[in-house]
């Protein structure tokens, strides 16, 4: 049997494992947002943010630390690491504030616009200019966000604006992650993400802290664990398969968010959220399709 054929079953199996890890990560993030929404009813969202980062940092430190991984704290781009971590912190905080007023499915539908924004700003920042077809897809995707948020027509709560700003933070976080990948290993970047978020929240906590009851303590620990495990699963998934294979499965999160929103809060999204989410998801999938089928000559800076 030729060598190329002998590796095909293993490659297929590896990709299936990576897809499974991606789907598991999405479930973790859905559980994290559900916990944050529940906790936000009885405590300041900033306290929930602190719980998410502190719990994640503790969990990550057990797996990744200078004793088990010497040199893990060494970074070639410390300022970019700090900036990236603060972007993720800002995105998380804005999302948790928005979850006080919005349904789970509404916030995630808006967050699905992140790949569209990344594709749009990759041109001026990274020289990866989208072509006309991709630009049309990006424009249609943002139209889907408007359908979900329905600004100025008595639709969604004004907190939807927080989700939109969160998308901008997460998009630039994603871009900085791509840049850092050329300088630091993902484990180093993951350690800095949790540590920077925790340290940045420590001065704020005395002003917002309220003593949690037993259930709230459990949910705070659970939220931190889900954040840390989710990001770790993402790293493992991307080690086994390229992003173009994994990215479509991110959209499976809408299923879990709708299910958890109904089971935990008794909420179902309205038809406009479904329509807008479908538009955003379709646009994102089309962008992924163009990345996979469009052959870009080596050295070309244009993506279509």
Q: pLDDT tens for residues 3-23?
A: 444 445 558 788 889 889 989
| Number of Cβ within a 10 Å radius of residue 299 | 5
Task: Give 129's strand partners.
Answer: 302
Q: pLDDT tens for residues 216-235?
A: 999 999 999 998 888 888 87
Q: pLDDT tens for residues 181-204?
A: 788 888 888 888 888 899 999 999
Quote the percentage of the chain above a pLDDT of 90: 36
Contact 224, 96 (CB under 8 A): no
Predicted local distance difference test score (pLDDT) of residue 249: 85
Residue 290 has pLDDT above 80, yes or no: no
| pTM of structure | 0.85
Predicted local distance difference test score (pLDDT) of residue 155: 60
Residue 158 has pLDDT above 90, yes or no: no
User: pLDDT-based confidence at 246, cuts 50/70/90?
Assistant: confident
| Number of Cβ within a 10 Å radius of residue 7 | 11
Q: In terms of DSSP H, where are the helices of the chain? A: 3-6, 8-39, 45-63, 78-99, 104-111, 114-126, 132-149, 160-180, 186-201, 205-208, 214-240, 243-246, 253-265, 271-293
């Amino acid at each position: 049997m030729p060598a190329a054929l002998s590796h095909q079953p293993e490659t297929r199996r590896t990709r299936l494992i990576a897809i499974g890890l991606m789907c598991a990560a999405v479930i973790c993030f859905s559980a994290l947002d559900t916990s944050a929404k529940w906790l936000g009813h009885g405590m300041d969202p900033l306290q929930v943010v602190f719980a998410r980062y502190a719990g994640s940092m503790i969990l990550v430190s057990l797996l990744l630390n200078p004793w088990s991984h010497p040199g893990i704290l060494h970074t070639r781009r410390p300022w970019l690491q700090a900036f990236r971590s603060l972007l993720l912190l800002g995105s998380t905080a804005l999302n948790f504030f928005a979850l006080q007023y919005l349904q789970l499915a509404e916030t995630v539908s808006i967050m699905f616009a992140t790949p569209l924004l990344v594709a749009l700003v990759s041109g001026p920042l990274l020289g990866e200019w989208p072509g006309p077809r991709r630009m049309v897809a990006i424009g249609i995707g943002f139209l889907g966000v408007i359908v979900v948020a329905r600004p100025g027509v008595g639709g969604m709560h004004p907190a939807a604006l927080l989700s939109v700003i969160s998308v901008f933070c997460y998009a630039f976080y994603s871009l900085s992650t791509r840049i850092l990948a050329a300088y630091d290993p993902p484990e180093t970047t993951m350690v800095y993400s949790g540590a920077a978020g925790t340290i940045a929240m420590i001065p704020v906590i005395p002003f917002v802290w309220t003593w949690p009851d037993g259930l709230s303590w459990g949910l705070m620990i659970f939220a931190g664990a889900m954040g840390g495990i989710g990001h770790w699963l993402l790293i493992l998934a991307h080690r086994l398969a390229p992003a173009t294979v994994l990215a479509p499965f991110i959209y499976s999160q809408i299923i879990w968010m709708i299910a958890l929103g109904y089971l935990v809060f008794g909420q179902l999204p309205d038809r406009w959220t479904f329509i807008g989410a479908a538009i955003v998801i379709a646009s994102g999938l089309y962008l992924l399709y163009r990345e996979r089928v469009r052959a870009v000559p080596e050295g070309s800076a244009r993506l279509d």
